[in-house]
Homo-oligomer: A and B are copies of this chain.
Amino acid sequence: MAAWARAVRGLLLDISGVLYDSGGEGGGVPIAGSAEAVQRIKASGLKLRFCTNETQATREKFVKKLQGLGFDISVAEVTAPAPAACRLLKERGLRPHLLVHDDLVPEFADIDKTNPNCVVIGDAAENFSYANLNEAFRVLIGLEKPVLISLGKGRYYKETDGLKLDVGAYMKALEYACDVQAEVVGKPAKAFFESALAEMGVRPEQAIMIGDDIVSDVGGAQQCGMRAVQVRTGKYRPSDENHPQVKPDAYVNNLAEAVDTILSQM
């Protein structure tokens, strides 16, 4: 991370595994130095946007939790899959059957959900029961042209009590059962990164994505023409450094180190 960091005008930050580790009593634990790193970015004049695949809560609720953990963050700074999915549903006249976390449902408040003609799957956590998955499956298999919209396609994430399966695993289950290909809204979809960049008003070559997911964060941002840095926090695993397809532009131990290095180049 040297010459190319000098051209930077905006940063995109993943949240879970970069700002904090989710799970447990208070909803999570901040990663040391991350709250101060966010403040330093804001003080530096760099544009900043949070780009998350979080779908276990509305953005309002999610941001409130992060504020409680000491982060300077507002709803208007967050790009998340549910609002993007709502735009897509409206554009195409789709009425979803929702297989999502209870706390995400309010994001779909003004979407017609009667007589569903598609399934939207998010990180439903405890709602990923056998009964609920069967119900979503039956809706899909009963459609003449099954449409499956997935809010991200992460394989797993880390909570304070261990690794948990993410929406991507359940997306694959439904894809296989119904012989369909899901449309992914959220990282690593190109359109999702592009909307985050547009909201910042920054071109891809002027932006750096910082995340813990080698495929969704790093691979997705690079596909979009951005530089991408992987932090060695959150779901990072040493085997990521031998990933057959994706190679980050740089590794850092954590967000604080990434921000230090970037700001020192400016």
Contacts and interface: CB of A to CB of B under 8 A. Distances in A.
Give the bracket for the number of chain A residues in contact with chain B. Answer: 20 to 34
Nearest to A136: B165
A125 B131 CA distance: 9
A246 interface: no
A178 B237 CA distance: 12
A163 interface: yes
A138 interface: yes
Interface stretch (A45-53, A168-176, A255-263): A168-176
B168 A177 contact: yes
A162 B130 CA distance: 14
A47 to B, nearest CB: 34
A95 interface: no
Contacts of A168: 176-177
A127 B131 CA distance: 11
Contacts of A179: 155
Contacts of A166: 177
Interface string A133-174: 110011001000000000000011000001111101110111
A108 interface: no
A251 interface: no
Contacts of A138: 162-163
A241 B206 CA distance: 53
A177 B176 CA distance: 14
A161 to B, nearest CB: 10
A115 interface: no
26 contacts: A127-B130, A128-B130, A128-B133, A129-B130, A130-B165, A133-B169, A134-B162, A134-B163, A134-B165, A137-B156, A137-B165, A138-B163, A141-B156, A141-B163, A155-B176, A155-B179, A156-B177, A166-B177, A168-B176, A168-B177, A169-B173, A169-B176, A169-B177, A172-B175, A172-B176, A173-B173
Interface of A: 125-130, 133-134, 137-138, 141, 155-156, 162-166, 168-170, 172-179
